[in-house]
Amino acid sequence: MLRIVIAFCLSFTASAALAEIEIKQVTSPGGINAWVVEEPAIPFVALEIRFRGSASLDLPGKRGATNLMTGLLEEGAGDMTAQEFQTAREGLAASFSFRAFDDTLSISARFLTENKAEALDLLRQALVDPNFDQDALDRVRAQVLSGLASDEKDPNTIAGNVFNAAAFGDHPYGSSSDGTVESVTALTQEDMFDAHRNALTRDRLYVSVVGDTTAEAVGEMLDDLLGALPAEGPAAPEDVDFGLAGGVTVIDYDTPQAVALFGHKGLKRDDDDFFAAFIINHVLGAGGFESRLMTEVREKRGLTYGISTFLVPKFHAEMMLGSVASSNATIAEAIAVTRAEWARMADDGLSAEELAVAKTFLTGEYPLRFDGNAEIAKIMVGMQMVGLPPEYVVNRNHYVEAVTLEEINRVASELLQPDDLHFVVVGKPEGLTSTQ
């Protein structure tokens, strides 16, 4: 029997106008949950599906299998070849996107009200009955191998790969989820079926739907769409410590502008101090033109076009990262200024005025995110993955408001450790050498 458990209504009053979205939680007869917002204004539906695990479930020696498998989901299913499948999808004007990330396999779909049954049937076949034909496997493998070759010559990707390998070693986070030339070349059809069976399982499934449909209709559709997937998958990898000490690693690469990726350990999404850290990160480097690092590195000194920082709470490790690019002649100065700002924030924290301005921005900006079916669907599925309840969208601004200056300054001194920052620099940076 179909259950629509909670109808949760929230409204924003950030403005003279009032935004309302009503999140309904529905459970299918087969036990699949989804969050639904009924929005009939435009005759289409946005559907977001996530599977937790993804590339971190690659089997030993099969690095890149989940990524290649995910790329093949649009390459033929049921009795359809890749071309037949795509011809059918184009004829319906539906769009499907399949992406494998470190921890998350992501499927985004949108389709018209007028042919949603046909579109969902196509998507169902891609998800539960993909073919993994050998010719498609070989064709997409060639694309992945070409991408890996490009990665070897892309300064940003080089920096990311070096940083992750040094921080996480043999853990899946330590290597590219695309795999290596060697591992991808060796992948077989059987590996694709194994990766599919392991990564698309109902125990790690999250679904959200926004658009011209009803919670009841979604509840009835879920079992058809996803019910044939296996109930359970293999164990997730263990948590891993961030294993990179402070310092500098220079990767020599002949390009005019050096790129730097830097960071140290961070904190978990469910940490009590998360919102304090979120505000600190915003003021330090995530707040666009207004951040301290943009002010110091770009506006005052003209050393870069952009610098930013990120809190990265992954499922098995936590980081605080940043990136900056500057000419080979000036990257050393950009890094020195960055370290100094890191230390200033750790030592002095924020002023009361800075905190007030940050809160105004963060609470004012939040409701503006809910401005399209696809956007709302993405927000809702993301909330489910980190265990947030629907009412979080109402309470979230209160969590931001509740953070005190004392908390901010304590968390800044704990989180930000300038001596622990490790910079991986790709280019021909002047005045920088690798530390031991």
Partner 1 sequence: MKRLFTSFALMIAASVATAEDVTTYMLDNGMEVVVIEDARAPVVVHMLWYKVGSADEPVGASGVAHFLEHLLFKATDVLESGEFSATVAANGGSDNAFTSYDYTAYFQRIASDRLELMMQMESNRMNNLRITAADVETERQVVLEERNQRTENSAGALAREQFRAAQFQNHRYGVPIIGWKHEMEQLDLTDALDFYDLYYSPNNAVLVVAGDVKPDEVLALAEKYYGVIPAEANLPVRERPQEPPQRAERRITYVDQRVSQPYLVRSYLAPERDPGAQTEAAALVFLADLLGGSSFTSALGQALQFDTQTAIFTSASYDGSNLDSGTFSLVVAPSEGISLSVAEAAMDETVAAFMDAPIDPERMESIRTQLRASEIYAKDNVQGLARRYGAALTQSLTIADVQAWPDILQAVTEDDIKAVAAKVFNRDQSVTGWVVASQEEAR
**By CB under 8 A, what part of segment 246-265 binds partner 1?**
254-257, 259
The stretch among 12-20, 343-351, 386-394, 399-407 that binds partner 1 (CB under 8 A) is 12-20
The stretch among 223-231, 264-272, 300-308, 410-418 that binds partner 1 (CB under 8 A) is 300-308
> CA-to-CA distance for 125 and 121, rounded, in angstroms?
6
Contact with partner 1 (CB under 8 A) among 31, 169, 302, 431 = 302
Judged by CB under 8 A, does residue 160 bind partner 1?
no
**Which residue has 């707040």 as its token pair?**
287
Judged by CB under 8 A, does residue 74 bind partner 1?
yes
Smallest separation, CB 90 to partner 1 (Å):
5
Judged by CB under 8 A, does residue 72 bind partner 1?
yes
Q: Which is nearer to partner 1, 98 or 315 (CB)?
A: 98
Residue type, 25: Q
The CA-based dihedral angle spanning residues 42, 105, 138, 165, taken in that order and rounded to the nearest 10 degrees: 140
Q: Which is nearer to partner 1, 228 or 368 (CB)?
A: 368
CB 177 within 8 A of CB 65: no
**Which residue has 């995530």 as its token pair?**
286
Q: Which is nearer to partner 1, 85 or 168 (CB)?
A: 85
- Cα first-last separation, the chain: 63
Smallest separation, CB 305 to partner 1 (Å):
4
Judged by CB under 8 A, does residue 363 bind partner 1?
yes
| Subset of 99-118 contacting partner 1 (CB under 8 A) | 110, 112
The stretch among 78-86, 196-204, 240-248, 380-388 that binds partner 1 (CB under 8 A) is 78-86
Q: What is the CB-side half-sphere exposure of residue 238 using CA atoms within 13 A?
A: 6
Tokens of 89: 């999808």
Nearest to 342 by CA among 384, 386, 292: 292
CB 324 within 8 A of CB 260: yes
Judged by CB under 8 A, does residue 142 bind partner 1?
yes
Contact with partner 1 (CB under 8 A) among 220, 223, 290, 333 = 290
Q: What is the CB-side half-sphere exposure of residue 281 using CA atoms within 13 A?
A: 22
Smallest separation, CB 222 to partner 1 (Å):
23
Smallest separation, CB 232 to partner 1 (Å):
27
Judged by CB under 8 A, does residue 214 bind partner 1?
no
> CA-to-CA distance for 146 and 152, rounded, in angstroms?
10
Contact with partner 1 (CB under 8 A) among 42, 59, 117, 402 = 42
Judged by CB under 8 A, does residue 83 bind partner 1?
yes
Judged by CB under 8 A, does residue 216 bind partner 1?
no
Smallest separation, CB 35 to partner 1 (Å):
18
Judged by CB under 8 A, does residue 304 bind partner 1?
yes
> CA-to-CA distance for 325 and 33, rounded, in angstroms?
43
Nearest to 198 by CA among 62, 75, 80: 62
Judged by CB under 8 A, does residue 92 bind partner 1?
yes
Q: Which is nearer to partner 1, 60 or 256 (CB)?
A: 256
Q: What is the DSSP letter of 367?
A: G
> CA-to-CA distance for 18 and 123, rounded, in angstroms?
35
Judged by CB under 8 A, does residue 149 bind partner 1?
yes
Residue type, 318: E
Q: Which is nearer to partner 1, 147 or 418 (CB)?
A: 147
> CA-to-CA distance for 165 and 173, rounded, in angstroms?
8
Judged by CB under 8 A, does residue 87 bind partner 1?
yes
Q: Is 112 helix (H, G, I), strand (E, B) or coil?
A: strand
